[in-house]
Amino acid sequence: MADLNTIPLTTIKGEPTSLGDYAGKVLLVVNVASKCGLTPQYDALEKLHERYSAQGFSVLGFPANDFGAQEPGTEEEIESFCSTSYGVTFPMFSKIEVTGSNRHPLYDELIAQQPEAIVPEGSGFKERLAGYGIKPASDSDVFWNFEKFLVNRDGAVVGRFAPDTAPDDKLIVAAIEAEI
């Protein structure tokens, strides 16, 4: 397994960084999109970030245009949208790919460490997508915007939650609270 903290990343402002800059924090890594039915999750993500940041927690947003071209904007447009529409203050990163042959190494490692997402009881989300002909290449692939990976203070992935799991769902909150 690769060390998540050493994988090169770029902030939404174009500055080089890595998860090493967040070493010792509990992180919720989320692939986000501005034009998705799940986009309102930004609100709950921001509230989680605000609620637990003083305890060493941070949400990290990674815009991705992989699903239905629902993140078509530039970094500047994405940052402006998140700030003005949802008051996002958590760190945002440059647009990446989270599926396919050009998948970012961060997502290669997140998936390798946690190949299966917890799906909310009675969800049916994956089945609804399949009804539209949308199906991940493999069972371990990220299957839509707003899939969430929980990383502990030691840099290990300790949870993965399906896109339709609300950020303030008791499963996610309990998992965060167990790590902080």
CATH of the domain at 106: 3.40.30.10
**Active-site position among 11, 18, 36, 75:** 36
Mean pLDDT of 127-143: 84
Higher per-residue confidence, 51 vs 131:
51
* Helix spans in 28-151 (H): 41-52, 75-86, 105-113, 125-131
Helix intervals (H) in the chain = 41-52, 75-86, 105-113, 125-131, 170-179
Query: Mean of the per-residue pLDDT values for the chain?
Result: 94
**pTM metric for this prediction:** 0.95
Amino acid (1-letter code) at residue 153: R
Residue type, position 75, single letter:
E
Residue 1, pLDDT score: 65
Radius of gyration of the chain (CA): 15
Range of the domain at 98: 4-179
- Report residue 20's pLDDT band, with 50, 70 and 90 as the boundaries: very high
- φ, ψ for residue 96, nearest 5 deg: -135, 175
The total domain count for the chain is 1
Q: Is 82 a catalytic residue?
A: no
Please state, as a whole number, how many other Cβ atoms lie within 10 Å of the Cβ of residue 132.
8
